[in-house]
């Protein structure tokens, strides 16, 4: 087990982090007296689901119907376009 001082831990965290890669635990000392132990913790990696555009499109249709945005959003956009003289497609 390696030892490291409180000061070294504060000022040289990358060194302590690298030591934890090889050691199971570090003994932290202040004025030569042990005050704490720092142990390595291996977090479980949760595998995230990948984004599926087809699944997202199906969800949007279930929630919003055929249009993918809310009606009031469409109306606000159309109003803004009319104010600016935008002709658009239709």
Locate the domains of the chain by residue range.
2-39, 53-84
Q: Collapsing DSSP states into helix, strand and coil, what is residue 14?
A: helix
Per-residue pLDDT tens digits for 23-47: 889 999 999 999 999 998 877 788 8
The whole-number pLDDT of residue 86 equals 67
CATH of 2-39 among 3.40.1620.10, 3.40.50.720, 3.40.50.10860, 3.40.50.10470: 3.40.1620.10
Per-residue pLDDT tens digits for 47-77: 888 999 999 888 888 887 776 567 788 788 8
Distances (CA, A) of 49 to 28, 30, 32, 52: 40, 46, 49, 9
């Amino acid at each position: 087990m390696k030892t490291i001082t409180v000061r070294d831990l504060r000022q040289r965290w990358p060194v302590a982090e690298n030591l934890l890669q090889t050691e199971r635990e570090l003994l932290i000392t202040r004025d030569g007296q042990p005050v704490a132990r720092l142990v390595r913790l291996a977090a479980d990696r949760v595998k995230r689901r990948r984004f599926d555009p087809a699944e997202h499109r199906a969800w949007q249709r279930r929630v919003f119907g055929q249009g993918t945005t809310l009606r009031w959003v469409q109306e606000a956009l159309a109003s803004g376009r009319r104010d600016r003289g935008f002709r658009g497609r239709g």
